[in-house]
């Protein structure tokens, strides 16, 4: 099974979009829309301090029927960020995301952000691994692999 780092290396678009904790919510929403992503990491002084997603906006702003577009990102972001290391397995990442109901998972190496995994990244990798295993088993059954 692959590691988080291996999945990050295989991503076609591995760029991690971010906002500063002092940016406005409107600025963050613009980045989400322009880049077509569902979450942004929140940085302060180059360090990961949170994550903000479409889900945060819907739950904390839109459903409250109030306009906080000029509010700082730091007021609605998730600051208790759950992350993984580059050597953590895809299976561990999937289990963590399922248990915690997460859609995005920052990958940190020695405290530094090296990438962001989405549930889609992990599902894609899991499907590819299962397809490869099925192919190998079929070859074994046909006697093509000793």
State yes or no: pLDDT of 106 exceeds 90. yes
pLDDT for residue 60: 78
Domains of the chain, residue spans: 4-142
- Tens digit of each residue's pLDDT (9 = 90 or more) over 114-141: 999 999 999 999 999 999 999 999 999 9
In which residue are the tokens 């190496």 written?
109
- Tens digit of each residue's pLDDT (9 = 90 or more) over 12-43: 777 899 999 999 988 999 999 999 999 999 99
Torsion of CA 112, 9, 125, 131, to 10 degrees: -160
- Tens digit of each residue's pLDDT (9 = 90 or more) over 71-91: 889 988 999 999 999 999 999
Assigned CATH topology for domain 4-142? CBS-domain (3.10.580)
N-terminal to C-terminal alpha carbon distance within the chain:
22
Tokens of 107: 């990958």
């Amino acid at each position: 099974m692959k590691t988080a780092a291996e999945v990050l290396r295989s991503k076609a678009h591995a760029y991690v979009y971010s906002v500063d904790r002092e940016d406005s919510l409107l600025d963050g929403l613009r980045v989400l829309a322009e880049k077509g992503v569902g979450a942004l990491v929140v940085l302060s002084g180059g360090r990961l301090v949170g994550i903000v997603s479409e889900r945060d906006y819907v739950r904390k702003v839109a459903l409250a029927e109030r306009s906080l577009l000029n509010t700082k990102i730091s007021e609605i972001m998730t600051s208790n960020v759950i992350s993984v290391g580059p050597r953590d397995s895809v299976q561990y990442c999937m289990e963590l995301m399922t248990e915690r109901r997460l859609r995005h998972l920052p990958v940190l190496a020695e405290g530094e952000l090296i990438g962001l995994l989405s549930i889609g990244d992990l599902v894609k990798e899991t499907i590819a691994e299962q397809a490869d295993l099925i192919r190998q088993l079929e070859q074994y059954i046909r006697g093509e692999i000793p």
